[in-house]
Structure 1
Amino acid sequence: MSNPLLEGVRILDLTRLLPGPFCTQYLAQLGAEVIKIEDPAGGDYARELMPELFAVVNRGKHSVTLDLREADDVAAFKQLVAGADVVVESFRPGVMERLGCGYETLKAINPTLVYAALTGYGQNGPYRDAAGHDLNYLAYAGALDQIGSAGGAPAMANVQIADLAGGALTAATGILAALLGAKVSGEGTFVDSSMLDGSLALQPIALAGLRAHGHTQPRGADMLTGALPNYQVYKCRDGRYLAVGALEPKFFARLLAALGEQVPLPKTLKALAGGKASTGQRSRKPPTADSGDQSRSGRPGLRDRFNEVLEDPARARRWLAPVRWSLAGVFRLRPRDAWIRALSQADACVAPVLTLEEALADPQVLARGMAEQVDGGPGIGCPLHFEGRRRDPLAPAPGLGDDNDWLLER
């Protein structure tokens, strides 16, 4: 018998829009039965405001309509709770209590219930009752300050980091842990998941910089956001971009060697590729291309010099700026896809910056079964694979109240 994952787990989902529905769809992809509890007057706001978003984050779910301001519907909801494993809601703190459906009330009905509240700021603290969205949570978390180009304003990503990674996936982790604990102990629990908290927890790199230097680096100028020429995005001749992630010295050395086979290299890159140090005082020399501890000449090798500059990001930016400028000039000589073909065998951590359309047609994505059709349009499959378990696409998102007849005993 194969591992059933979450088959047999019933989740009552009162969430709307993006973070909560994304969380519960993840759990549906893992086998859980998810029942959307929706207001009869329109249901989830996304149905009308963003129907395509609704379609892609509510697949595989059922829908029942209940007005929790009405006593009969509250009674029907509690009847569902008695046979459920999880309740997920995303109201501001206190709303469910005012409706007569707070955790303590539902726990008395079902002691093994896992009750998850996915909110912006959590159940306590001065912001607990404040409204917010992804941008606000990232701003408070210090994450937005880290996103963007050097010298520019904070940048807004079209990937909802706080909603999805800080919120939905963090909440899903909490729910799974609580379900496991309930199975062992026979007692449910309250899962308090805050998108601000989850976003704050996503910053180990910036936190390491703060610990090492006493302050975070300027936006776009930390080691992984622009200080290093070998971890950078470069524009190509056709206006498209390459993502160069040759972070370790061995990958950078391979990249320089492969580039040298394709085009004449500027002096700055020749010195690196050939293992020669530039002239001038030792403290100002760029790293050699040797991936060992020392180059053949006895001077510090690439690994040594990069370890040295890692201790001082500002110095790294100054020392390595000519290398970055030289690489930028080289990559402008050819179109993006020509560089990908030329560097395909270099094993140097270089990738094309794809559009979503291109990503969904990429052979790696297709091989992993990640591109699906959802209601006649493009969709994204479950990113997890399990041995011995076939991963079938989820059913389309339900219509409002589609499952009233068989789920509500009236």
Structure 2
Amino acid sequence: MTALAGIRVVELAGLVPGPFGCMMLADLGADVVQVSRPGPRAVPVGPLDRGRRTVTLDLKSPSGVSSLLSLVSRADVLVEGFRPGVAERLGFGPPVCTAANPGLIYARMTGWGQDGPLASRAGHDIDYIAVSGALAPLGRSGSPPPAPLNYLGDLAGGGMLLAVGVLAALVSRARSGRGQVVDAAMVDGAGLLTTFLHGAVASGLWPGPRGSNLLDGGAPFYDTYATADGGFVAVGAIEPQFYAALLAGLGLDSDPALPAQHDVSGWPELRARFAAAFATRTRDEWAEVFDGVDACVAPVLSPSEAPSHPHLKSRSSFVAVDGLTQPAPAPRFSRTPAAPPAPPVTTTVEAVLDSWS
């Protein structure tokens, strides 16, 4: 039995954050039914849709709303990602759904949240992380903050926050018998990811502007370096014993003129020395040099290379679903392990209701 076996989720298909959160719930064993609208999808079916049954409903029609409410009446969770007020206008807002099912967890995935001056405004990941303070610390000194894909807003601050909220609400319902509305906003989640940074700034551990601090590429012993073949290695040798192993691997441990690790004035020279050393070998040659050495040095792998890394292969950290290699479910459980993900399948509302009877 999986961790969320018996939990029924109705997911109103949307863009990345909601599907990612529902993918996590499905990975953990929830029975997730995705409701798609008629016509072509904005995003093609892919890994985020794994583990689902999919039905098609026109939620702008009374019959479509009626069918949705029939699913909701037997579900534990409803996930929707419309702008505030849209679900209410279409006839399936929280009052309607909780009247049909008082124990329902009504989870709302938005960028700006259900209230506030920006609640009804359009936005994307980069906007939410910009306003939350998560974007400004990223990037090199003297350069604009980069667009860091959509990891921080859509995925970590959005879909993962949604999944945590749903799980917490299910625990609360198990004690009280009552459902509730979960307001999962990407701007809140992205801000939450900066909690450590706020503490570091307040304690004086983050004194400088972007690109000049310990963990933002300012320190030469916590950065990435180009190798002879055009690849890269990542270095995270913060602690003294790891730093000593880094110097030994680079052949710099016997140089008495090398600046001290935490002498900030010497960081430019250290970076130049490290860069010159790493440029003498290929990425994979450096991986061999530091293999089995606690220097916190790792090759920078592409997403297509990662599944072949020996450590990830040994843990089966990637799986093939319908012929497509993708990350395996996480985290892992000793008693209720996740089942291998399955590709999405198309079904009907009637078939779902029969299985939920």
Aligned residue among 207, 220, 223 for 2:211:
220
Supply the distance in 1 between the matched residues of 2:35 and 2:176 (Cα, whole angstroms): 28
SS of 1:254's partner is helix
Aligned residue among 348, 367, 371 for 2:314:
367
Supply the distance in 1 between the matched residues of 2:79 and 2:313 (Cα, whole angstroms): 33
Residue 10 (structure 2) aligns with: 12
Aligned residue among 160, 168, 179 for 2:151:
160
After superposition, what is the alpha-carbon deviation per residue over 1:139-179, rounded to whole angstroms, capped at 9, x for unaligned?
A: 11222222222222211123532000000001100100000
Residue 124 (structure 1) aligns with: 115
CA 1:215 to 1:334, structure 2 compared with 1: closer, same or farther past 3 Å?
Answer: closer
Supply the distance in 2 between the matched residues of 1:159 and 1:95 (Cα, whole angstroms): 25
Residue 244 (structure 1) aligns with: 235
Contact 1:148 1:219 in 2 (8 A): yes
SS of 2:304's partner is helix
Matched, 1:195 2:186: yes
Q: Give the total of aligned pairs.
A: 354
Residue 283 (structure 1) aligns with: none
Residue 266 (structure 2) aligns with: 319
Counterparts of 1:63-78 in structure 2 under 5 Å? Answer: 63-78=54-69
CA 1:159 to 1:129, structure 2 compared with 1: closer, same or farther past 3 Å?
Answer: closer
1:28 CA displacement: 0.4
Residue 403 (structure 1) aligns with: 348
Contact 1:55 1:374 in 2 (8 A): no
Supply the distance in 1 between the matched residues of 2:119 and 2:322 (Cα, whole angstroms): 38
Counterparts of 1:331-370 in structure 2 under 5 Å? Answer: 331-370=278-317
1:78 CA displacement: 1.3
Supply the distance in 2 between the matched residues of 1:142 and 1:244 (Cα, whole angstroms): 26
Residue 100 (structure 2) aligns with: 109
SS of 2:18's partner is helix
Residue 45 (structure 1) aligns with: 42
SS of 1:383's partner is coil
CA 1:215 to 1:125, structure 2 compared with 1: closer, same or farther past 3 Å?
Answer: farther
Supply the distance in 1 between the matched residues of 2:68 and 2:176 (Cα, whole angstroms): 25
Listed as ranges, the gaps of 5+ residues in structure 2 are none
SS of 1:227's partner is coil
Contact 1:58 1:398 in 2 (8 A): no
Equivalent AA in structure 1 for residue 25 of structure 2: L
Supply the distance in 1 between the matched residues of 2:77 and 2:5 (Cα, whole angstroms): 13
Contact 2:29 2:339 in 1 (8 A): no
TM-score, with normalisation over the residues of structure 1?
0.81
Equivalent AA in structure 1 for residue 14 of structure 2: R
1:404 CA displacement: 3.5
1:381 CA displacement: 1.2
Supply the distance in 2 between the matched residues of 1:378 and 1:152 (Cα, whole angstroms): 35
Residue 257 (structure 1) aligns with: 248
Supply the distance in 2 between the matched residues of 1:219 and 1:30 (Cα, whole angstroms): 38
Residue 174 (structure 1) aligns with: 165
Structure with greater proportional helix content: 1
After superposition, what is the alpha-carbon deviation per residue over 1:308-340, rounded to whole angstroms, capped at 9, x for unaligned?
A: x6xxxxxx2x33221111111111111111111
Residue 290 (structure 1) aligns with: none
Supply the distance in 2 between the matched residues of 1:270 and 1:225 (Cα, whole angstroms): 28
Matched, 1:378 2:290: no
Listed as ranges, the gaps of 5+ residues in structure 1 are 279-285, 288-301, 310-315
Percentage of matched positions with identical amino acids: 39
Judge which range, 31-40 or 318-327, deviates more.
Answer: 318-327
Supply the distance in 2 between the matched residues of 1:384 and 1:147 (Cα, whole angstroms): 27
Contact 2:3 2:336 in 1 (8 A): no
Supply the distance in 2 between the matched residues of 1:81 and 1:270 (Cα, whole angstroms): 69
TM-score, with normalisation over the residues of structure 2?
0.93
Contact 2:81 2:110 in 1 (8 A): yes
SS of 1:357's partner is coil
Which aligned runs of 4 or more in structure 1 are off by greater than 4 angstroms? 213-216
Contact 2:84 2:120 in 1 (8 A): yes
SS of 1:174's partner is helix
Contact 2:29 2:338 in 1 (8 A): no
Supply the distance in 2 between the matched residues of 1:213 and 1:372 (Cα, whole angstroms): 43
